[in-house]
Amino acid sequence: MVDTLALVTGGSRGLGRSSVKHLAAAGVDVLLTYRTNEAEARAAVAEVQAAGHRAAALPLDTATTGAIPAFVDEVRRVLAQDFGRDTIDHLVNNAGVGMHRTLAETTEAELDELVTIHLTSPFLLTQALLPLIPDGGRILFTSTGLTRFTLPGGYGAYAAVKGAVEVLARYFALELGPRGIAVNTIAPGAIQTDFSGGVVRDDPGVNRAVAAMTAMGRPGLPDDVGAAVATLLTGGTGWITGQRIEISGGQRL
């Protein structure tokens, strides 16, 4: 019997790395992508292998949509060579970047970058990988708690693009429902990673402010999100689709 396999973009650090770890703990093989940090990607692969499962890492710059066809060809090659298969069961669209800029200050180039990385690339990558995802697979997109609540600090353009991601995921859920493929969006709140320069993790004032506005009294940890991702992909959640699932500890309820 072929083991379950997930492809996780941006799986070498942060929420992606935690998702990879929790998927491996749940018995899932992993193909992860990274942009530039090959050493961290290799370390993530080693963690999965140490847990007794297969893993591989491929470079992918989601800021360059023209690279997607060649990337999918490489996925096919690695699946056959390293995993002895020609399909992936689950796709986690996790890769992304942050930006802190007021709407008045946001340039067209910055907006274009956000749209490309967070919306266009996940759209085209998911589209290109659909022939490799069997009926009954699962797909996750990544949004943000900032599509539900607002915060000062220049999050408007980022949140607006993520709002479009949530709509995209619902339509993928509608169109892929006949194939039994569940499509959902996770929306993390403020998480203590190196995202956006690690401000939630490293700035005590920001950390305290987030804790004060969160029902559970603290900012999130990567494992809060990674564990949820693994549950959505491996638990009895196949009947959940087209949903926005916030993972924020009750931020700004």
Residue 139 β-bridge partners: 91, 183
Tell me if 106 is assigned to some domain: yes
The structure tokens listed for 105 are 């200050």
- Residue 1 pLDDT > 70, yes or no? no
- Residue 44 pLDDT > 70, yes or no? yes
Confidence of residue 2 (pLDDT cuts 50, 70, 90): confident
Cα distance between residue 26 and residue 20, in whole Å = 10
Tell me if 253 is assigned to some domain: no
Tell me if 194 is assigned to some domain: yes
pLDDT at 116: 98
Cα distance between residue 102 and residue 95, in whole Å = 23
- Residue 141 pLDDT > 90, yes or no? yes
Q: Which amino acid is at 212?
A: A
CB 13 within 8 A of CB 33: no
**How many domains does the chain fold into?**
1
Mean pLDDT score across all residues of the chain: 95
154 lies in which domain range? Answer: 5-247
pLDDT at 200: 80
Cα distance between residue 168 and residue 126, in whole Å = 11
CATH number for the domain spanning 188: value is 3.40.50.720
CB 221 within 8 A of CB 17: no
- Percent of the chain exceeding pLDDT 70 equals 98
What are the pLDDT digits (tens) for 168-207?
999 999 999 999 999 999 999 999 877 766 778 877 888 9
Tell me if 212 is assigned to some domain: yes
- Residue 106 pLDDT > 70, yes or no? yes
Tell me if 252 is assigned to some domain: no
pLDDT at 196: 65
